[in-house]
């Protein structure tokens, strides 16, 4: 199957779980009506993006947030890349965790954000996820009827080794729920996703919340799709909105045949491997 239609919801973050999932269900309905195969949500789509909030809003794996997402995927018969949510483990650790559910509501993937967003930009943004979050340690690739896909979260996109490992595991598309801010977004958002798509010859599908100037964290927005040639296929602005894009997966094979980067790696000199 060479055609894969993705529906991205650049939504406003609602912090009450009831209204948040009413909003998600509305987007599920829109995605279904648009003939989309997958709905993609942003990073921390139902939690205020502040380090102090992650433990407060966190739930155990399989809690209400993931149960509701699973149920909606099954109800509408679509894949649901359910953004990310704060996840608690039984020892009290907190993770920034992304989930993907299949058409029957089955869980296909769980990715705990591997690279924590700890930055201090002079004259700009300071943010320290490590104050409350624990880093994940898994390269996440999962199977679909369209082929393998990878899953990462926001700051993970800045580390080319991770996306390349996904490509080496067979990923054709990499999903990236994200929330770049207004300091880093204008400089690096499109650049990061274009670069990673080109270097690993995958589609990048990155979904952000919309910009809400009344919240404490101002997301950049600009949800984006980039093709395996590194070209931007579609992109929103900062406002609330949706993006429906049909991906031609045959373009991945074409890119990899015409410029065979993955085959031409000098593994006799250097090697990239996942350490178990």
**pLDDT tens digits, one per residue of 75-134:** 999 999 999 999 999 899 999 999 999 999 999 999 999 999 887 777 766 778 888 999
Give a yes or no: residue 23 inside a domain. yes
pTM listed for this prediction: 0.96
pLDDT score, position 127: 78
Give a yes or no: residue 271 inside a domain. no
Which residues form the domain of 253?
3-258
Percent of the chain with pLDDT over 90: 88
Q: Cβ neighbours of residue 130 under 8 Å, at least 6 residues apart?
A: 116, 118
Confidence of residue 217 (pLDDT cuts 50, 70, 90): confident
H/E stretch holding 175: strand 173-177
Here the CATH number for the domain that contains residue 171 is 3.60.110.10
The question of whether 5 is a catalytic residue gets the answer no
Give a yes or no: residue 274 inside a domain. no
**Residues facing residue 97 across a β-bridge:** 85, 112
Give a yes or no: residue 276 inside a domain. no
pLDDT score, position 81: 98
pLDDT score, position 124: 67
Catalytic residue selected from 28, 46, 47, 154 = 154
The question of whether 154 is a catalytic residue gets the answer yes
Give a yes or no: residue 187 inside a domain. yes
Mean model confidence pLDDT for the chain:
95
Confidence of residue 159 (pLDDT cuts 50, 70, 90): very high
Number of domains composing the chain? 1
Contact 141, 149 (CB under 8 A): yes
The question of whether 210 is a catalytic residue gets the answer no
Give a yes or no: residue 70 inside a domain. yes
């Amino acid at each position: 199957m060479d055609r894969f239609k993705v529906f991205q919801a650049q939504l406003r973050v609602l912090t009450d779980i009831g209204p948040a999932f009413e909003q998600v269900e509305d987007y599920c309905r829109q995605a279904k009506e648009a003939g989309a195969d997958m709905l993609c949500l942003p990073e921390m789509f139902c939690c205020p993006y502040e380090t102090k909030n992650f433990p407060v809003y966190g739930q155990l794996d399989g809690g209400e947030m993931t149960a509701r997402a699973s149920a909606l995927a099954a109800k509408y018969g679509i894949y649901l890349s359910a953004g990310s949510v704060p996840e608690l483990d039984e020892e009290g650790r907190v993770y920034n965790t992304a989930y993907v559910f299949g058409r029957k509501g089955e869980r296909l993937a769980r990715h705990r954000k591997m690279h924590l967003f700890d930055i201090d930009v002079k004259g700009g943004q300071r943010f320290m996820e490590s104050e409350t979050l624990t880093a994940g340690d898994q390269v996440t690739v999962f199977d679909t009827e369209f082929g393998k896909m990878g899953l990462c979260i926001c700051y993970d996109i800045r580390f080319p080794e991770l996306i390349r490992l996904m490509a080496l595991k067979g990923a054709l598309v990499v999903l990236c729920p994200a929330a770049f801010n207004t300091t880093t977004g204008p400089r690096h958002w499109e650049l990061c996703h274009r670069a990673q798509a080109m270097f690993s010859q995958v589609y990048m599908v990155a979904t952000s919340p919309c910009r809400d100037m009344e919240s404490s964290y101002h997301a950049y927005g600009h949800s984006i799709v980039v093709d395996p040639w590194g070209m931007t296929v579609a992109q929103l602005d900062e406002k609330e909105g949706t993006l429906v894009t049909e991906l031609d997966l045959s373009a991945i094979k074409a890119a990899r045949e015409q410029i065979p980067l993955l085959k031409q790696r000098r593994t006799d000199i250097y090697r990239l491997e996942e350490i178990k």
